[in-house]
A and B are shown apart, each in its own frame.
Chain A
Amino acid sequence: MKYLTLAALAVFAPAAHAETPVLNVLTYDSFTSEWGPGPAIETAFEAICGCDLVFSAVGDGAELLARLQLEGARSDASVVLGLDSNMTARASATGLFAPHGQEGANDLPVTFDDPIFLPYDWGYFAFVHDSKLPDPPKSFEELAASDLKIVIQDPRSSTPGLGLLLWVKSAYGARAPEIWAGLADNIVTVTPGWSEAYGMFTAGEADMVLSYTTSPAYHLIAEGDNSKSAALFEEGHYMQVEVAGKLAAAPEPGLADQFLTFMGTETFQSIIPTTNWMYPAHMPAAGLPDGFDQMITPQKALLMTADEAHAARTQALDEWLSALSR
């Protein structure tokens, strides 16, 4: 047992701390994984900040806020990166964030101006299908009328699931329960998170999966595979806007500001498209990488404000539950 402990120490001992200041950024798992934007952003920022940028990661965007609430003001993080705009109302209400004080301009298709949260990327939710699928549906109503089978995520445990709920709500308002009732027989199953749903779709269990309009770009650019497409819906597509904010109790407020400024630069923004597979909040001068031009462009971008999303959630969730529990 003693040897095991020694061996464990040898393997897990953290690297010796240097004298440089440390900027802790709390984010979600897939941002900091080897395939996400994290490693490249860390290298680029450390080259200019004279600091050590350390990402700590938790499961996903929803978990991020819960984690922050657990830590409260004791968190050693200065910046939180990766909250979904549907959750920012609750995040501001915690009082743990400070105004970012940056110039808020961005290239989002809707107005997004928040004194506390700065967007760094965004995307449209969409149903992704095999490119060979004949006549993909052009609206929720067409989808509900079809025999197509879809996999979606649970709005009680995942951010895309919540996004879909708000998508139907903002496109159909009071008709939302009717749309859900129509979709009930198309839904193969509801998964706890995005990965399970996407995995089931790629395994052939469903014709379509709730994901992003940019998902096919991953397959096209990283795998040279053009077999996936996203269906364009006439009623518009709900957006996911991913934001970062500075903590009021930040141990390194100066570095936090520097990081938020860096977030809007060409360097940071041009890393995003092919690592996070989302649109950058500030369009790089060189434009988007090849392949993104083949993605669908919704005519209408839907997004509730933080307060609207917060207010709509409970009722939309009840409607969803009762439509699908029948």
Chain B
Amino acid sequence: MATKAYQRVYTKLEGITKATVSLKAKGVSNDELAVVDGRLAQVVRIKGETVTLQVFSGTEGIPTNAEVVFLGEPPVLKVSDQLSGRFFDAYGHPIDGGPEIDGEERPIGGPSVNPYKRRQPSQLIPTGIAGIDLNNTLVSGQKIPFFADPDQPYNQVMADVALRADVDKIILGGMGLSNDDYLFFRHSFEAAGALDKIICFINTTENPPVERLLVPDMALTAAEYFAVDKNEKVLVLLTDMTLYADALSIVSNRMDQIPSKDSMPGSLYSDLAKIYEKAVQLPTGGSITIIAVTTLNDGDITHAIPDNTGYITEGQLFLRADSDTGKVIIDPFRSLSRLKQLVQGKKTREDHSQVMNASVRLYADAQNAKTKLENGFDLSDYDHRCLDYSKDYARELLAIDVNIGITEMLDTAWKLFAKYFTPAETGIKQALIDKYWVK
């Protein structure tokens, strides 16, 4: 990064930790960027004349006489239509070999939308996956994470969802992505011929962890440009937010802050909320929808990261391996879309919510039957039918490799009802039974 002629250069560091350096400097503003020994850093604390800088790429090898130059502005992203189809690092520099972007500089991590100016989300986002569209319908302006163990194919599901969703832009914020996963995203976007509407900000495991802290803000600043300035429907994908939170805890630890639950910083809730609350439906028609990934440790949702996330987001999608069918399914019990009632039956067929409830309830009966079986109790005829139904239901609707329209999902559910149950056993309203029951 070029230094300008009038800038003061400091050459005496007073303290160095693994993530921060501190030095005496004057006229420094909070949150502004600096270059320490050629590496980008940001002001995180000012105490008298002592300034503490968080060095994004780590402090390995930085000597006490390193050159420090303050840049006088917070991290910015240049925004313009040229962002489309490009791949960037956490600082917003191209990593695809293409030219730098020309555009207006916008500080990242900007102010929030006035809640009074928001609109209630009401646009359906179809994904083709029945576990989502049928049971946990997504709505534009929603924020929702996948909760998944690290061995599950969450990135593949997310790429599928993104490519099938009817949106104007897809912005990927990759944090701690393995290089393989980065290339996977790149190839799937290329293969789908969707490159023109994709923008990626990528931090891989090869990059220093603290750099990740910039990625969501970069992605969302780009998203706000397209949603607010261009009135576009933008889908933001953030993976993996657990690694983002880990980076937060590294920095707060180096700054001697007292950790709260699970050694996470006390401000974790606010830090995550600042990101997720960028999801918005604007009155002008533009919207930002956020789909994130939070990896779990052995399905534990009481850990501080998924727990705080759950309080912020509008539901969660749970991936689980189903032993009956050998497929990965969207768990109908633990998944939830809090906004689904805003579109179900309104943007979809009238029987949607009744069919959803009935199919999940019958699946729950099957789980009870399974428990009975495991405990050595006798099964009734109904129990047996439930068990058979549950296998079909998991294979034809819950599995993530399903890709059909919502009306077809509803028809499939009616077909399964008719195959295994009487109309009364489904508990669906008579008027709908009369209209849709498969004879």
A and B interact physically: no
Q: A residues touching B (Cβ–Cβ < 8 Å)? A: none
